[in-house]
Structure 1
Amino acid sequence: MIGFDASQRTINLSTRSTTYQMKIDPTGVLLHTYYGQKLRGGDLSRLICPEDRGFSPNPDEVGLDRTWSLDTQPQEYSSSGVGDFRTPSLEVDLADGSHTADFRYVRHTIEEGKYALEGLPAFYGEGVTAQTLTVELRDRCSSLVVELLYGVLEEYDMITRAVRVRNDGSAPVRLTRVASACLDFPVGDHDFITLGGAYAREREPVRAALTQGIHTAGSVRGSSSHQQNPFLVLCDRDATEDAGRCWGMALVYSGNFLASVEYTQFHETRMTMGIHPFHFSWLLQPGETFTAPEVAMVFSARGLGYMSQMFHRAIRLNLCRGPWKDQRRPILINNWEATLFNFDADKICSIAQAASKVGVEMMVMDDGWFGQRNDDFGGLGDWNVNQEKLPGGLAPLAKRIHDLGMKFGIWVEPEMVNENSDLYRAHPDWTFRVPGRPVTRGRYQLVLDLTRPEVKGYVLDNLRAMLKSADISYVKWDMNRSLTDVWSAGLPAERQGEVYHRFVLAVYEILEALHQEFPDLLIEGCSGGGGRFDCGMLYYTPQIWCSDNTDAADRLRIQYGTSFCYPCCAMGAHVSAVPNGLTHRATPLHTRGVVAAAGTFGYELDLNELTAEELKEVAEQIAAFRTYWDVVMRGDYYRLTSPFRQEDSYCAWMHVTADKSRAVVGLVQTVRHANPVRPLLRLKGLDPDRNYRVNGVVYGGDELMYAGLALPFLDQYQAVQYQIEAV
């Protein structure tokens, strides 16, 4: 998979269907020469055409040769201050006040298996063919060393990248930008796709043609955010779901990030991704190393759909961990939309009892069970049970739930504190706040300074005590505000630029401790819904609450956009009551079930308020989901239509098993017109040479994919679901 041609001085990384090549230039610059369809061989540096470019300076090594400039060379890790005016990969403040960084090749090693990162999540290589390439680059003047890490996961057509920066000099240096990946394209007209949106409108695909300049997506909110997502696609202008070249990048990180695409005066393109340089700096003492988070890259010559499927497989099997990564998750019911803060043990048990009768397997008690938590003004930080609501604590309630044949889960928000809490009154200095400035609140909350060992220890101790106090199978981990006033009393002034990153590392450390101590615990990530939906969190939490917006019509768009990178088994999706609390829209119960069944599947309502007929339908939804959950969770996902295309009157999607023997198709009528045209749906991913039974009728796989399936006329927001089996 990884080979070195000493005569050509090229390093080739090969997956099942891709080739990635770099070349060691005579000057020691590590050039990027190719990333695309798999090649048999060749030195692709021949595609780099020397040319005298005005205002593109030339390094000392090339003498009077005006045709060689870093400003026009495609590089594996771009320099700073020495003639390349494009986006730098690394920026540094050196002891003498200079900012120049010029990294040249020293050596490389090739090892079996996939590298791991200290204190950071990363894809792993168990169960697949994996190798690691480590390339050492050095800035000769400062003795700053960069280790470029490449992991090759052959079966997924995935190449991962990460960076370690080591100070081998005798004086401290300050890092002010450290990209995790830099990818240069010498020519080509491309589109770029980002996932934008807002709270309750997460991960809306935004596609635009590249024009000269720098196009960015990023977050400075302290988390990956609702507004942008650490995922980026570069693709051919005519790329579709099923055709065209696509290069996807996903950052395995949950904090501030910056993804950029620069299109230059010479129509070169540079993609970079990593920690956002906003308020970032890292003091690196002699002998110390800084490790930047991982970027996962997938190239597809078969369109966006295949790219997404490779991300889905790799995330499900080689990023998510623990016993839940490939198991059916419990079908749960959450009380939040049913009760908000107004509940007690009897109310929780009442909801659970109704749910147990229709086949729900877990009761999750949401916000409001601790401290003086009767609204969102107080109580956060006090993780002692509210005895008025839950007499005797968590254990008696958990037993009552278990006696119904159900598991018990609970909600926490460990990173936050209310000023109206015993914790804050005892330790007001444990929060982020800038000395001499008034605080900034979000949802009436302040942020605990987890970078301080005593604060991190308090949070972890309370979580451990909670989990040991009762039989708890599931935790919903929430984060309901962005970071502001980011200043830590535990760090000196010269290290305040490290706080954002140290905060993320602390969250990871707590989650890793829980993973090790409670290996069977299922943790669902959440940040006001989908505000921290990223590969970093999926390493610790194999599912994430996709959005606080549970409206089925809006979820079509949210789950569609999320699927560009993230698998359906990671998407927390529930059936909720109507009219929906956010959109005030009413959709049929069947439709809500079809949409939620494209994710982890659960309920977010009080089943006691449903009619007997509705309860019968819920029981049927649950029984049916148990028969096809493995198709949804483990199968390949196909976006058959887009809910963002106004000309499409319905939204359809499809899951197909790897052996093409089974499939599930979901479809929702999004727009209803008078005197409509008869709709046809062409399926994907089936075997054209096999026959399939579709809801009792047999068709050829070729018929279903090439001619299509005639759809019934549906009213707006009505849905159909097709169970498909090979015969």
Structure 2
Amino acid sequence: MITLIENNKNRKLFFLNTVSSTLVIMIHEDNYIFLPYFGAKIEALDIDYIIDGITEANYMADTDNKKKFQLELIPQIYPSYGYTDLKNPAFHFVYKDGSRITDLRYKSHNIYKTKKKLNGLPTVLSNDDSEVLELTLFDELKKVEVIITLAVFEKHNAFTKSVKVINKNSSDDLYIEKIMSANIDIQESNFKFIHLAGAWGRECHIKRRRLEQGMQSIGSIRGASGHGQNPFAALISPNTDENNGEVFAMNFIYSGNFIISAEVDMHLNTRFQMGINDFDFGWTLMPNEEFQTPEAVLIYTNKGLGDMSRTFHKLYQDCLMSNKYAYKERPILINSWESNYFDFNKESLLKLAEEGKNIGAELFVLDDGWFGKRNDDKTSLGDWTPNEQKLGGSLSSLIDDINKKGISFGLWVEPEMVSPDSDLFRKHPEWAIQVNGRKIETSRHQYVLDLSNPEVCDYIINFMTELLSKNNITYIKWDMNRNITNLGSSYLKAERQKEQAHRYMLGLYRVLDNIVNAFPNVLFESCAGGGGRCDSGMLYYMPQVWTSDDTDAIERLAIQYGASLVYPSISLACHISDIPNHQTRRKERIETRANVAMWGNLGLELNLNKISEEDKKVISQKLKIYKSIRSTIQFGSIYRLKGLHAQNEYAWMHKSIDEETIVVNYVQICVIPNLVTKRLRLEALDSISKYKVNNSDRLYTGSELMNVGLMLGEIVEDAFAIQWIIKKVN
């Protein structure tokens, strides 16, 4: 809900309220836009005293020649470069005359119901739970208009923010060097900076560091959000845990280069920013052209990281994911990759599909190697013609034979890539990302197609449309197995080369928008060498992500735990894999591998034709259990349980929407010698209700389970897992 208050000082205060948080925008009498408050929900009262109460500091410039009016000290919503605020600006424009100073002042505002879709970009949307404040700012000298769009999702306790720049100058170009989507100024600095970091095979590990005076940042310039950093960060109070403490969180609805920074100034105030990474970025706006930033999601809570996570999850399931799949049970799949890699024929595929069906799988996925001359990773990307010799006939006939076994069919593709050894590259070498006159570097023996070129995007749309129109494919795994080097475009003009990285993302989003809307009954899964594009931008088009190429159950604990800070369980693909694991060589029990895979969308990534009958029996039993609790895992709320030994124990709990079913999982990685039995306390139960644990005869009250807890028993081996299924008794 948005409320406007105007006071007798010719000031406007906009109160943007969710169910439990408030963001206040103040229009100063000199038409500056300030941010006096962002935090727990407060009543809509005249709080401009917050701004008036800021004292002056030495060695600061006065603004507009007004004594004690020092812009650098005042919390702003979108600070500019080069005026009297010498901190990190939210944007940086260069004008035709070489000047770089912009003086944006409030011009007008507009408040309306129901947020609009951002042109060409993924967007958080809601027909019944969004109200929007548009603030129009203007630089009268340079004729530049900036529109800040703040949307309130009241029931979801969230805000979104994006920025549009319009060059209103009738004769001069405008050059954008930096353009953030969100800026939050906070008048304190006693925070820890929490984010998700790692690498291929160990994505999304949680990192915390204390804020100090100066600049701290994370980001990506890899052409994707990346394995190394995730486009999420939060400022948290020092003692924040799962259930208590302040959290100021931001997540970028974008899949390309990004930067998130926190600057603590000389007076211990914090400036928190998120947007497109300005390294090697530039954008020219001709007269009357506009530039739209991606949007950022802003969340405040004083109830800890658990509440932050559940807020993100609910918002993304309700307002970001495809309505068709947000609350539709995802199938249990078996993927051919770790079973066969490139070495398969029709007989081996049909046998694997049959074994998968017999054990309880519902979807068979044919991974890499089905097209062109693709018997290894050195050839044929771009030549998306099925290899009928390898498939024993047409792709359609293979799909028909697999469907006859009572299992659906899915397919792996990597449309953004091209092999040097491919007919496509020989025909269109200029379609690869490259710098004229320089060698194109390969990664995984492949190049990246230049999606800033509309002709390349049309090619991908056309071949994917043909593939999906002619075959009964119900699932697509869309991969991207390398990052972008040698950034350069044969399509873009010299003065537009710095636009390429963002134009690539706009091209990808156009491709996905076309294909996903044309084939609404196909479930798309995003993959980029695992979690290299595990972000909410992709989640808008593809409602699940391959969380990591690392399928080892122990390594997946930290990955899935970290990813759950932002991304809902239904979006995370988690598979039971073979032993020794293909990435770590570990050998965990099948029970542990299965329980860890039940964190999200369970699947199989192993050769059922080679495992023991005993393991098959356990897997079959586990899949039956998963199907009985699937709606709880995929649609319910997750709680990361506290009170455990850091990095050696993981415990998490899913609670169904109706709160009738609770699924609890516990894993201890290493045995602790000479340790007596411990208990695991649960959360968020009804204290007076009674619950039955694993169909036992004994009933427990919710208060017992939350304060006394479940007995872990004696743990005598590494990688030990326990699962409890708890039902409320009416």
Task: Indicate the TM-score class for this superposition, using the shorter chain for normalisation.
Answer: over 0.9
Question: Which residue does 1:716 correspond to in 2?
Answer: 718
Confirm or deny: 8 A CA contact 1:192 1:232 kept in the other structure: yes
Question: Which residue does 1:169 correspond to in 2?
Answer: 169
Q: Quick one: which amino acid aligns to residue 105 of structure 1? A: Y
Cα distance in structure 1, aligned partners of 2:460 and 2:189: 50
Q: How does 1:512-531 map to 2 (within 5 A)?
A: 512-531=513-532
CA-to-partner distance for each residue in 1:110-133, whole Å, 9 max, x for gaps? 10112220000011113x421111
CA-to-partner distance for each residue in 1:238-270, whole Å, 9 max, x for gaps? 111100110110000000000001111101001
Q: Does 2:159 align with 1:159?
A: yes
Q: Does 2:672 align with 1:673?
A: yes
Q: 1:13 aligns with which of 16, 24, 30?
A: 16
- Give the direction of change, closer, same or farther, for the CA distance of 1:389–1:643 in structure 2 (3 Å limit): farther
Q: 1:25 aligns with which of 25, 28, 35?
A: 28
Alpha-carbon shift at residue 644 of structure 1 (Å): 8.3
SS of 2:89 mapped into structure 1: coil
Q: Quick one: which amino acid aligns to residue 138 of structure 2? A: R
SS of 1:96 mapped into structure 2: coil
Q: Quick one: which amino acid aligns to residue 437 of structure 1? A: R
SS of 1:633 mapped into structure 2: helix
SS of 1:83 mapped into structure 2: coil
Question: Which residue does 2:512 correspond to in 1?
Answer: 511
Gaps of 5+ in 2: none
Confirm or deny: 8 A CA contact 1:641 1:650 kept in the other structure: no
Cα distance in structure 1, aligned partners of 2:226 and 2:468: 28
* Mean CA deviation greater in 708-717 or 29-38: 708-717
CA-to-partner distance for each residue in 1:596-615, whole Å, 9 max, x for gaps? 11110010011111222221
Cα distance in structure 1, aligned partners of 2:321 and 2:199: 26
Alpha-carbon shift at residue 391 of structure 1 (Å): 3.2
Alpha-carbon shift at residue 322 of structure 1 (Å): 4.1
* Mean CA deviation greater in 526-535 or 68-77: 68-77
Confirm or deny: 8 A CA contact 1:90 1:101 kept in the other structure: no
Confirm or deny: 8 A CA contact 1:107 1:137 kept in the other structure: yes
Cα distance in structure 2, aligned partners of 1:417 and 1:57: 55
Cα distance in structure 1, aligned partners of 2:154 and 2:435: 48
Confirm or deny: 8 A CA contact 1:478 1:527 kept in the other structure: yes
SS of 2:615 mapped into structure 1: helix
Alpha-carbon shift at residue 64 of structure 1 (Å): 4.5
Question: Which residue does 1:329 correspond to in 2?
Answer: 330
Cα distance in structure 2, aligned partners of 1:75 and 1:257: 21
Cα distance in structure 1, aligned partners of 2:339 and 2:50: 62
Question: Which residue does 2:637 correspond to in 1?
Answer: 636
Q: Quick one: which amino acid aligns to residue 490 of structure 2? A: A
Q: How does 1:269-284 map to 2 (within 5 A)?
A: 269-284=270-285
Alpha-carbon shift at residue 356 of structure 1 (Å): 0.8
Confirm or deny: 8 A CA contact 1:82 1:101 kept in the other structure: yes
Question: Which residue does 1:45 correspond to in 2?
Answer: 48
Cα distance in structure 1, aligned partners of 2:72 and 2:573: 46
Confirm or deny: 8 A CA contact 1:51 1:68 kept in the other structure: no
SS of 2:203 mapped into structure 1: strand
Question: Which residue does 2:625 correspond to in 1?
Answer: 624
Question: Which residue does 2:398 correspond to in 1?
Answer: 397
SS of 1:467 mapped into structure 2: helix
Question: Which residue does 1:135 correspond to in 2?
Answer: 135
Q: Quick one: which amino acid aligns to residue 123 of structure 1? A: V
Cα distance in structure 1, aligned partners of 2:133 and 2:408: 45
Question: Which residue does 1:150 correspond to in 2?
Answer: 150
Question: Which residue does 1:726 correspond to in 2?
Answer: 728
Q: Quick one: which amino acid aligns to residue 150 of structure 1? A: L
Q: Quick one: which amino acid aligns to residue 724 of structure 2? A: Y
TM-score, normalising length: structure 1? 0.98
Cα distance in structure 2, aligned partners of 1:595 and 1:325: 22
Q: Quick one: which amino acid aligns to residue 13 of structure 2? A: T
Cα distance in structure 2, aligned partners of 1:349 and 1:281: 51
Alpha-carbon shift at residue 466 of structure 1 (Å): 1.0
Confirm or deny: 8 A CA contact 1:3 1:12 kept in the other structure: yes
Cα distance in structure 1, aligned partners of 2:442 and 2:452: 19
Cα distance in structure 2, aligned partners of 1:64 and 1:503: 46
Alpha-carbon shift at residue 59 of structure 1 (Å): 2.4
Q: Quick one: which amino acid aligns to residue 21 of structure 2? A: T
Cα distance in structure 2, aligned partners of 1:643 and 1:174: 52
Q: Quick one: which amino acid aligns to residue 166 of structure 2? A: R
Cα distance in structure 1, aligned partners of 2:149 and 2:312: 19
Confirm or deny: 8 A CA contact 1:224 1:256 kept in the other structure: yes
Cα distance in structure 2, aligned partners of 1:641 and 1:411: 38
Question: Which residue does 1:251 correspond to in 2?
Answer: 252
Confirm or deny: 8 A CA contact 1:94 1:172 kept in the other structure: yes
CA-to-partner distance for each residue in 1:148-177, whole Å, 9 max, x for gaps? 001111111000101111111121111111
Cα distance in structure 2, aligned partners of 1:192 and 1:671: 29
Q: Quick one: which amino acid aligns to residue 15 of structure 1? A: T
Alpha-carbon shift at residue 619 of structure 1 (Å): 1.2
Aligned length: 721
Confirm or deny: 8 A CA contact 1:401 1:407 kept in the other structure: yes
Q: How does 1:381-392 map to 2 (within 5 A)?
A: 381-392=382-393
Cα distance in structure 2, aligned partners of 1:512 and 1:451: 15
Cα distance in structure 2, aligned partners of 1:678 and 1:79: 59
Confirm or deny: 8 A CA contact 2:526 2:544 kept in the other structure: yes
Question: Which residue does 2:657 correspond to in 1?
Answer: 658
Q: How does 1:499-578 map to 2 (within 5 A)?
A: 499-578=500-579
Alpha-carbon shift at residue 502 of structure 1 (Å): 0.6
Q: Quick one: which amino acid aligns to residue 234 of structure 2? A: V
Cα distance in structure 2, aligned partners of 1:593 and 1:43: 56
Question: Which residue does 1:694 correspond to in 2?
Answer: 693
Confirm or deny: 8 A CA contact 2:54 2:74 kept in the other structure: no
Confirm or deny: 8 A CA contact 2:233 2:250 kept in the other structure: yes
Gaps of 5+ in 1: none
Confirm or deny: 8 A CA contact 1:560 1:642 kept in the other structure: no
SS of 1:601 mapped into structure 2: strand
Question: Which residue does 1:57 correspond to in 2?
Answer: 61
Cα distance in structure 1, aligned partners of 2:305 and 2:507: 35
SS of 1:593 mapped into structure 2: helix
Question: Which residue does 1:109 correspond to in 2?
Answer: 110
Question: Which residue does 2:38 correspond to in 1?
Answer: 35
TM-score, normalising length: structure 2? 0.97
Alpha-carbon shift at residue 194 of structure 1 (Å): 0.9
* Mean CA deviation greater in 1-10 or 475-484: 1-10
Alpha-carbon shift at residue 50 of structure 1 (Å): 3.8
Confirm or deny: 8 A CA contact 1:678 1:711 kept in the other structure: yes
Q: How does 1:212-227 map to 2 (within 5 A)?
A: 212-227=213-228
Q: Quick one: which amino acid aligns to residue 54 of structure 1? A: N
Cα distance in structure 1, aligned partners of 2:614 and 2:646: 35
Q: Quick one: which amino acid aligns to residue 290 of structure 1? A: F
Q: Does 2:205 align with 1:201?
A: no
Alpha-carbon shift at residue 375 of structure 1 (Å): 0.6
Cα distance in structure 1, aligned partners of 2:60 and 2:166: 30
Cα distance in structure 2, aligned partners of 1:431 and 1:265: 47
Confirm or deny: 8 A CA contact 1:218 1:228 kept in the other structure: yes
CA-to-partner distance for each residue in 1:136-155, whole Å, 9 max, x for gaps? 01112111111000111111
CA-to-partner distance for each residue in 1:693-718, whole Å, 9 max, x for gaps? 11123111001101222111222112
Cα distance in structure 2, aligned partners of 1:680 and 1:88: 50
User: % of aligned pairs identical?
Assistant: 38
Alpha-carbon shift at residue 299 of structure 1 (Å): 0.8
SS of 1:346 mapped into structure 2: helix
Confirm or deny: 8 A CA contact 1:89 1:182 kept in the other structure: yes
Cα distance in structure 2, aligned partners of 1:78 and 1:528: 37
Cα distance in structure 2, aligned partners of 1:286 and 1:416: 35
Question: Which residue does 1:448 correspond to in 2?
Answer: 449
Question: Which residue does 1:289 correspond to in 2?
Answer: 290
Alpha-carbon shift at residue 73 of structure 1 (Å): 1.3
Cα distance in structure 2, aligned partners of 1:441 and 1:227: 20
Alpha-carbon shift at residue 53 of structure 1 (Å): 2.2
Confirm or deny: 8 A CA contact 1:18 1:36 kept in the other structure: yes
Question: Which residue does 1:228 correspond to in 2?
Answer: 229
Question: Which residue does 1:416 correspond to in 2?
Answer: 417
